[in-house]
Amino acid sequence: MLLEIPDVFTREEAAAMHEALCQADWLDGKVTAGAQSAKAKRNRQLAESHPLAHDLGQRILERLATNAVFMAAALPEKIYPPLFNSYEPGHDFGDHIDNAIRPINGTRERVRTDLSATLFLAEPDSYDGGELVMRTGFGTQAVKLAAGSLLLYPGTSIHRVEPVTRGRRIASFFWVQSLIRDDGQREMLLDLDMAIQRLTQTGAEQNALIQITGVYHNLLRRWADL
């Protein structure tokens, strides 16, 4: 599942976050890369312990908790605290796959990376390059979203960030451990959920709605990884 979730934040909210991040001190992005990824990673990253990372990360988590599309698509059990990266001219991140398990710094908790997420915070016309390129079963797909929009994609996917040649690409990224480990099952549940919502809005016959809602919850009960 490759899903764009628009307007998680308004353009104005994203611009304010972007401005604050531009004033921060950044580290070499290799600090969170695995052994293989570090060879391909050329960017900068906000320290996880930075107060701004904590404050903005909490805002992101609070907003996602009220976003119906994100909750329906991700069915989150755990979310890794959001991180922030910056790509400037000469920066890129070659083909890689995210680590399967991410320990949360300062805790004993670990997150299985069923889903990866990128929240774009720079307007797409403010920088050249920087597309997030995914390898899919239907070929490669390049994504560059409006500021405030989020891309949700399988943690199993091979992806890269194209070289930035002008401007500055700032984004937040994080991982989700879902109640549903299998991507295909999550996608079917999302399709069912969206269909139920549309049928509800159009005033579908009540018994049919109860039946299809029951199918959704029985599949969720069968597949949930608890």
Q: Identify the pLDDT of residue 148.
A: 98
Asked if 183 and 123 count as a contact pair (C-beta separation under 8 A), the reply is no
Please, what sign has the CA dihedral across residues 184, 178, 149, 141?
negative
Amino acid letter, 1: M
Q: Identify the pLDDT of residue 140.
A: 92
Select from 3.30.200.20, 1.10.3720.10, 3.30.56.10, 4.10.860.20 the CATH code of 183-223: 4.10.860.20
> What architecture does CATH give domain 3-178?
Sandwich (2.60)
Q: How far apart are CA 224 and CA 226, in angstroms?
A: 6
Asked if 157 and 181 count as a contact pair (C-beta separation under 8 A), the reply is no
Which stretches of the chain score pLDDT less than 50? none
Phi, psi at 100, each rounded to 5°: -70, -35
Q: How far apart are CA 226 and CA 221, in angstroms?
A: 10
Q: Identify the pLDDT of residue 216.
A: 97
> What percent of the chain has a predicted confidence (pLDDT) above 70?
96
